[in-house]
Amino acid sequence: MKESSSVHRARPAALALAAGLLLGGVAPAVADTHDAPAHDIAVMVESMTLEEKIGQMTWTHVYGSSAHDTSMAASNQARYGVDTPAEVVQKYNLGGVLYFAWSGNTNNPEQIAGLSNSLQDAALAEEGPGIPLAVTIDQEGGLVARVGPPATQLPGNMALGATFDTDLAQAQGEILGAELQAMGVNVNFAPVVDLNSNPDNPVIGIRSMGEDTDAVSELGAAQINGMQQYIGATAKHFPGHGDTETDSHYGLPVVTYDRATLDDHLQPFQAAIDAGVDMIMTAHIIVEAIDPNLPGTLSPDVLTGLLRQEMGFDGIITTDALDMAAMTDHWSQSEMSVMAIQAGSDILLNSPDVDASIAGVQEAVANGAISEERIDESVTRILEWKAERGVLEDPYTDPGAVDSIVGNADHLNTAATIANRSITLLRNEDRALPLDVDSDTVLVVGAGSAWPERLGPMLADRGFDVIEEYDNGSSPSPAYRERAVAAASGADAVVFTSYNASSNAAQQQMVAALAATGTPVIVVAARNPYDINVFADADAVLNSYGYNVVNYGAVVRAIAGDINPSGALPVDVPTVDGSQTLLPIGYGRHYPGPPDHAGPPEHSGAPDHAGPPDHAGPDN
């Protein structure tokens, strides 16, 4: 806890305004502090204790669905030594909180709005830091989305990348920003601007918008422009996590490419900086071209030398979560916290031991390893951001506005348009697609991790006669393969959902066995877009870049011929041995006739489609 409450009785004007807001949620009219004079922030920083300053730099998750929820007290006790989310905020004078589904924070939009408001109450209470919170989340869309329906489910970044459309990218950013703002979130740790240049990347993949530097730069900047109409955006993971073969959640990746290659990975971050992105998140990876010894999160050469000085970023730098194995396997909590600040980070995100983190930084200041002036730099930057974003003026959201904003018809329509425009037809031998809804019987099978049981009923709803055979797991068992082959004789076509099949022999064997029956096999590559390189026997291959309902809705429309696939590969697809390029960035086939860019069948008015690089295959 703080040393005394005197700081709260002598708050500067902007802070006093924040403390005077209605504790129930919606604030009364107050003066505009977006252009608050810089000396106000200086007075705020000067009035704070060292412990309170470190608290502003500490952003972490809390367990519970409201500020005073005790249902997850055991989890809060185990990590923080207190019972409730409010007590976590107040114990550490937190500058920010981070929402997850698994920590009980994101049950539904109305509950999230209530949690946000109640946590702001806790921060502004006499026992709290007296400064409104940054309320943060990882809502990238697609694979990483902490808030589920009725919030708008977006097809994901690689699906967006397959449209090559900056208007849609901006629209995606606007949806994320507007819906999160309605839920009281003021920072999104998105977009991912990593280039997924390594097909074996286990952690980025379809979270990336692609591999082309110019396309990812333009799409990323457009997303940021859209999102920052409402809340702060974060470009991640600096200086680029897209060429790794290790997931930093489980180990410490090292990339060995040269500076010229690194410059390609830096280009989307430079575009984000030029677009005015509020924050940049570090990557727990060693980039040997800059610092062969320390990961970016802990490297002064990466964060200060490269990001601040060379690239000119003057916004907020946040670490990636410090409880990931790339950090915890190599450094103690106090070591990593001190090193991250020394490197140039402003925020210590999701420390696994907040007590040790704060104690370590306090000791480093006491022994001169970190100057208090260095702490003040970060706290000033954080508070200036809170002033500029209006968080100091009014951190609350209106719960009554949630229903009209979150998951509204316009947002859902845009998500469906992105999905429709993303579907990428890579092969269509003998015009296997589209199928005839009125006459074709379809067998739906696939890797369990690709959720074929989600796709089958959707095809049935569209009017197909559907035979369903499902099994669990990424690797289809021999028994499942036998059942599927037997069922294929009663079908006019087989739809097989694959999931990173390039590295899965069982999926490859199942597709080969199905093709040997003579029944046309249509593969829907539901995760990373490289699966065609092991499916030479498939009659048709569609990439959906995701297996959520919004992705599969577009797959159904493409299979039925309701839309003409118009997506194009946002990455190069290598041959299976990696020695050559099988299909280049921009490749995509279409049904005879012009590709359909009109969006969902029942709607119109989709943004204009500028098109990918000119590598499209012939109509067939």
- The 10s digit of each residue's pLDDT in 560-605 is 999 999 999 999 999 999 999 999 999 999 998 765 543 333 322 2
Query: Known catalytic residue: 249?
Result: yes
H or E stretch at 460: helix 452-462
**Angle formed by the axes of helices 38-47 and 372-388, to 10°?**
130
| Active-site choice (320, 346, 394, 572) | 320
Assign 393 to helix, strand or coil: coil
Torsion sign, CA atoms 59, 61, 66, 69: negative
Give the number of other Cβ atoms within 10 Å of residue 214's Cβ.
Answer: 11
Nearest alpha-carbon partner for 138 in 298, 341, 350: 350
Burial class of 577 by CB neighbour count within 10 A (0 to 12, 13 to 18, 19+): exposed
| Active-site choice (249, 603, 609, 615) | 249
Q: Are 416 and 554 in contact (CB under 8 A)?
A: yes
Nearest alpha-carbon partner for 395 in 603, 215, 140, 131: 131
**Angle formed by the axes of helices 73-80 and 354-366, to 10°?**
20
Please give the single-letter amino acid code of residue 449: S
What pLDDT digit, counting tens, does each position of 352-367 carry? 999 999 999 999 999 9
Query: Known catalytic residue: 603?
Result: no
* Total residues found in the chain within this entry: 620
Q: Are 311 and 277 in contact (CB under 8 A)?
A: no
Average pLDDT for runs of 10 along the chain of length 620: 28 35 30 46 96 98 98 98 98 98 98 98 97 98 97 98 98 98 98 96 95 98 98 97 90 95 98 98 97 98 98 98 96 97 98 98 98 98 97 96 98 98 98 97 98 98 98 94 97 98 97 98 98 98 98 98 98 96 98 58 32 45
Burial class of 614 by CB neighbour count within 10 A (0 to 12, 13 to 18, 19+): exposed
Q: Dihedral angle at the C-alpha atoms of 617, 593, 498, 516, nearest 10 degrees?
A: -90
Q: Are 161 and 570 in contact (CB under 8 A)?
A: yes
Cα separation values, 604 from 230, 363, 413, 598, 599, Å: 26, 61, 9, 6, 6
Q: Are 449 and 473 in contact (CB under 8 A)?
A: yes
Residue with tokens 């996590």: 241
Q: Dihedral angle at the C-alpha atoms of 531, 586, 194, 219, nearest 10 degrees?
A: -130
pLDDT at residue 245, rounded to an integer: 86
pLDDT at residue 461, rounded to an integer: 98
pTM of the model: 0.90
Beta-strand relationship, 139-141 and 144-145: antiparallel
